[in-house]
Chain A
Amino acid sequence: MFLQTVLLATLDGLSYGAQVFLVAVGLSLIFGVLRIVNVAHGSFYAIGAYVAASFGLLLAASGLSPWLSYPAMALSAVLVGVLLGGLLEVTLLRRIYGKEQVLQLLVTFAVFMIFEDLQKAIWGVSPYFVNTPLSLLGTVNILGINYSLYQLVVVPAFAVVVLLTLRYVLRSTRIGRIVTAVTDDREAAAAMGVDAAKVYLLTFMIGASLAAFGGALASGSTSLVPGMGSGMIILSFAVAATAGLGRIEGAAVAALMIGLGRSIAVYTAPEFDVLVPYLIMFVVLLIKPQGLFSVPQTRKV
């Protein structure tokens, strides 16, 4: 059935795009403020997923209400972002701000490799699957297709909440104005009383938490395997580059485009599903090299 295929591809694309968005928006936020391309960002996604799955297993073993697995997801994301992200920023990244990009890439790539091995050491290499969050909510029937409510509603809803919250915070709150000011000019912001080091740390923790949250949501519907972080980092790079690094709404649109493009490929030409995100990025960057949503730099002098 053609219509059903289209519908399935759209629903898959929405759910997948929402996860990609969470990871990509974190990457984009970190780049926008810290001016650092964090290759280890995908690891936060993977570790967030593993931690959420472990919490899920713990919950199942302890006999507590399985509904707790949803708050446990948010908790794992925050834990990973604050503890692991914070540790990385304080011990390592702090030393390489403003250094050559090659160095930044090498350092964060090394961190990524360490994290990959750590995951294998802690969680092993066999797939993890905790489907409590998926099965708890059941499925709905849309035009003859049974689709899980978790993927249809919960995952995209969280992405929308994150998008709206980030937008609101950055545009309309004191914290947002402080972050914007540091992004524009760290020194000028410091002259106005802004503790830029604190803003960097906080931004990194939030960005890492967002990636971990993407992973935690993914853990509810997909099996976790080694290497899931590297796949996601490449995809979220594609999203962030398509949107223009540092653009939040842009990341949402680009994630949707790439999520939909990928799932359409999965159903129509599965041999190309890996290629499609890059094709989209390629075409966009060919037409708009600064990304879809880049704004012209305001003059500084």
Chain B
Amino acid sequence: MLRVEQASAQIDGVTVVRSATLEIAKGGTVALIGRNGAGKTSVLRSIMGFLKLTGGRVTFDGGDLRDVPSHRRPFLGIGYAPEDRRLNGSFTLEENLRFPGEVMQLSAAELRRRMELVYGVLPELHAMRTRPAAGLSGGQGKMVALGRALVAGSRVILLDEPFQGLAPVLAQRYGAALRELRQVDRELGLLITESNPSLLRSFADEIYVIERGETSRQDALPDSSLADSDLH
């Protein structure tokens, strides 16, 4: 469904993504593992179009996304939860969740369907829905960011280091929510980045490792690099 083919991208003249290649199939769960600074976020930002590609391409359903501006990509069904949550503090929790639907002017029925999906997977958010987002804890914020990405993208969602900075209990809860999501929506594609491979190994169908902006399928990687990526 979503393919990154030999993509390269630069930030201020420094190449941060080097011929990265990965594919997310319909209903697939893909993990992108790499240390801090390896280029995980840059790959996601390239998929969203925030980084302009200097080579290669990103395709969705076979169509090149080059001419699709970033803000049109959610309309295709791509949702993105940045690592640092980036909720709107002056909105309530629910306003944050509904916001992408409001922007895209989804029909009331479609928005309701997506909100039900979110509250179904993350029921704890429902009780807090009228709280201002500025008052949420880091872990709660991550859950809202996941929910918001689900409202934005109905076909594939990109989660940037969702487990980063979560207390173990919350990380477990977050993992359970993702499993639940997998059960409820079998068509949805998931791309999750993480620096700690052990968190996703049991969960992902496919694992890619990224190092210095270069991706490789995990099977093809020598053990030493894997051990490396465990060290952070």
Does residue B89 face the partner (Cβ distance < 8 Å to A)? yes
Mask of B73-112 contacts with A, CB within 8 angstroms, 1/0 = 1110001101011101111000100011011100000000
Majority secondary structure of chain B interface residues (helix, strand, loop or mixed): helix
Given contacts A190-B50, A191-B70, contact A177 B99 (CB under 8 A): yes
Tell me whether A191 and B80 are in contact (CB under 8 A). yes
Tell me whether A181 and B88 are in contact (CB under 8 A). yes
Chain B residue, CB-CB nearest to A170: B90
Partner of A301, one of B75, B80, B84, B99: B84
Does residue A185 face the partner (Cβ distance < 8 Å to B)? yes
- Complex Cα spacing A244 to B127, Å: 35
In the complex, chain A residues whose CB is within 8 Å of the CB of B148: 192
Does residue B123 face the partner (Cβ distance < 8 Å to A)? no
What distance in Å separates the Cβ of B75 from its nearest Cβ neighbour in chain A? 6
- Complex Cα spacing A187 to B69, Å: 12
Tell me whether A191 and B82 are in contact (CB under 8 A). yes
Does residue B121 face the partner (Cβ distance < 8 Å to A)? no
Tell me whether A300 and B86 are in contact (CB under 8 A). yes
Given contacts A193-B75, A194-B71, contact A180 B90 (CB under 8 A): yes
Tell me whether B88 and A180 are in contact (CB under 8 A). yes
A-side interface residues, number (CB < 8 Å): 20
Q: What range describes how many residues of B lie at the interface? A: 20 to 34
Tell me whether B88 and A190 are in contact (CB under 8 A). no
What distance in Å separates the Cβ of A241 from its nearest Cβ neighbour in chain B? 22
Partner of B99, one of A181, A190, A195, A298: A181
What distance in Å separates the Cβ of A107 from its nearest Cβ neighbour in chain B? 21
Does residue A80 face the partner (Cβ distance < 8 Å to B)? no
Mask of A186-230 contacts with B, CB within 8 angstroms, 1/0 = 011111111110000000000000000000000000000000000
Does residue B152 face the partner (Cβ distance < 8 Å to A)? yes
In the complex, chain A residues whose CB is within 8 Å of the CB of B86: 184-185, 187-188, 300
- Complex Cα spacing A300 to B165, Å: 14
Does residue B22 face the partner (Cβ distance < 8 Å to A)? no
Given contacts A181-B99, A187-B50, contact A193 B71 (CB under 8 A): yes
15 further A-B contacts with Cβ under 8 Å, apart from A191-B152, A193-B103, are: A174-B102, A174-B103, A177-B88, A177-B91, A177-B99, A177-B102, A178-B103, A184-B86, A184-B88, A190-B48, A191-B71, A191-B73, A191-B74, A193-B75, A195-B69
Chain A residues with a Cβ under 8 A of chain B:
174, 177-178, 180-181, 184-185, 187-196, 298, 300-301
Mind listing 12 A-B residue pairs with CB under 8 Å?
Answer: A177-B88, A177-B102, A178-B103, A180-B90, A181-B88, A184-B86, A184-B90, A190-B71, A191-B70, A193-B71, A196-B71, A301-B138
Chain B residues with a Cβ under 8 A of chain A:
48, 50, 69-75, 79-80, 82, 84-86, 88-91, 95, 99-100, 102-104, 134, 138, 148, 152
